[in-house]
Amino acid sequence: MIFLGRADRFWKRTSAVVATVLLQLFATIATAAVVENVASETAPNASLRGTRPNIILIMPDDMGYGDLGCHGNPVIQTPHLDGLAADSFRFTNFQVSPTCAPTRAALMTGRHEFKNGVTHTIEERERLSLDAVTIAEVLRRGGYATGIFGKWHLGDEEPYQPNRRGFDEVFIHGAGGIGQSYPGSCGDVPGNTYVDPVVRHNGRFERTKGYCTDVFFSEALAWIDRERHDDQPFFALITPNAPHEPLVSPGGEYDRLYAGKEINDKKLTANDVAYYAMISNIDENVGRLLAKLTDWKLQEKTLVIFMCDNGGTRTHLFNVGDRGRKGSAHRGGVHSPAFWHWPEHLTADAECAALTTHVDLFRTFAELAGVDLSEAEEKQAEGRSLVNLLENPQSEWPQRFLVTHVGRWPRGGAEEAKFKNCSIRDERFQLVDSNALYDLQLDPGETTNVIDKHPDVVAALRAEYERWWEEIQPRLVNETAVGPAVNPYRTLYEAQLLEERE
């Protein structure tokens, strides 16, 4: 208005042509000022770099994108997660790996899991290569306290354990699930159960009391309560094993939520009830954590992220139209929720549809923490920082290719599995097993193969996949690994029992 007033006075002393040019110029400047003000109002913090928030990352095991009320599931009861989603910045096109250890490897290192040697969930091929740097190590170097509570699943032998990979506080079970054991290095305490589980806490085994998810969240909250009194920020990785099989419900009120309910005109089975009950228990614990952050006045200092490690295992019940489930290279095997909650810093109830992925967390966390990556870490981290998108969801986001491969081939069978259970995609198209192309913009459920209609797209995706396949070959470091005769958790647990008896 000031600019326009000055132009009006100038009009009386200047020719019409000159005045018109000036009016246009001043109007442009005024409009730019208004746009800038609007942008500042919609972006709570114009620059998030180096703001050093506490970071809490919650990632349940085998929960799917469709297992949330806010995503349209007509039966599931997830009020706290639904509320979190409504108050969060949401990445709606966020991709992970198709199974659990691979996602954890990619998230921790910022690069595809195969480049960390992780091509399976057992057979020593779940072990995170020892030359990889984890985001916990980067954050600890930047002055963060670091803790993990729940599932690790990146190696049960001592050199691979989280206390050697950047975590100060470690409260975990072994293997890929409580009580699971396999030949070689991947195993848990013998006979371990979801109720009163034995947990390895900073190198010592402890018998806990209660349902496993409650136990992991309670320990995480106790640790956060201790850490919040220090000046340094903290990184808490909360990774409950639920709702991973076996489907052991917490029982009681959780079962009553679903007993006798129907979905798709079919009554829920006992396993369906247990699965949904486990998720509602996760939801209650997320609500408990958020309430504590409020009580402790940590909301504005703490970034809370909720995501999943792969597609769900009961997607036949509801899967928002996505094709596939855990262990699939289709979208339903890798589509994850991604809720980012940080009051006064991130815009609430905002969505970003950019193609994003778990490998992006490494650079994002480092940038938020103000930690410069070393030359080796820069080379390792192939993901992108999400900070620009968090500041403005309309920021430029260049084309990218993302490769999904289920792996899990027989030992020594990588080459034969090259085009099996795999996909490569860009923002629009996904090529599955090199013989089926789907237009995800027009057909997000991957129902129609359009490979004959887009030969140029197919050629480009195949060429990119070939480049990727050659690139990963030197990094498949666990393919011939041989594990110990007895899994290390069993050995250590029995040694501790013997020591305690003496």
Mean pLDDT of the region 163-186: 97
Q: How crowded is residue 396: how many other Cβ atoms within 10 Å of its Cβ?
A: 8
User: Residue 38: is its pLDDT beyond 70?
Assistant: no
Query: Higher confidence at residue 29 or residue 467?
Result: 467
Nearest to 153 by CA among 112, 210, 99: 99
Contacts of 490 (CB under 8 A, 6+ apart): 181, 187, 189, 190
- State yes or no: pLDDT of 145 exceeds 80: yes
Give tens-digit pLDDT for 124-139: 999 999 999 999 999 9
The CA dihedral of 244, 248, 252, 257, to the nearest 10 degrees, is 50
Name the pLDDT band for 5 (thresholds 50, 70, 90): very low
Q: Is the pLDDT of residue 9 over 60?
A: no
* Calpha distance 53→192 (Å, rounded): 36
189 pLDDT above the threshold of 60: yes
Of 206, 188, 186, 204, residue with least CA distance to 196: 206
* HSE (side-chain half, CA atoms, 13 Å) at 187: 19
Q: Which of helix, strand or coil describes residue 345?
A: coil
Q: What is the pLDDT of residues 252-298, one digit of tens each?
A: 999 999 999 999 999 999 999 999 999 999 999 999 999 999 999 99
With beta carbons less than 8 A apart as the criterion, state whether 493 and 198 touch.
yes
Strands 94-95 and 335-336: antiparallel
In the structure, what pLDDT confidence band is assigned to residue 35 with cuts at 50, 70 and 90? very low
The answer to whether the CB of 156 falls within 8 A of the CB of 186 is yes
**Residue 302's pLDDT is what?**
98
Q: What is the pLDDT at residue 502?
A: 83
Tell me, yes or no, if the pTM score tops 0.85.
Answer: yes
H-helix or E-strand spanning residue 132: none
**Cα torsion at 117, 119, 124, 128 (round to 10°)?**
40
* pLDDT (average), residues 171-180: 97
With pLDDT > 90 as the criterion, what percentage of the chain qualifies? 90
Q: Are 311 and 302 in contact (CB under 8 A)?
A: no
Q: What's the confidence (pLDDT) of residue 46?
A: 62
**What CA dihedral angle connects 314, 320, 326 and 327, to 10 degrees?**
130
pLDDT at residue number 44: 54
Mean pLDDT on 339-354? 97
Tell me how far apart the alpha carbons of residues 381 and 402 are, in angstroms, rounded to a whole number: 14
pLDDT digits (tens, 9 = 90+) for 43-68: 554 699 999 999 999 999 999 999 99
Among residues 306, 278, 295, the alpha carbon closest in space to that of 221 is found at 295
Measured at the CA of 183, the angle between CA 359 and CA 358, to 5 degrees, comes to: 5
Report the pLDDT value the prediction gives residue 62, as an integer from 0 to 100.
Answer: 98
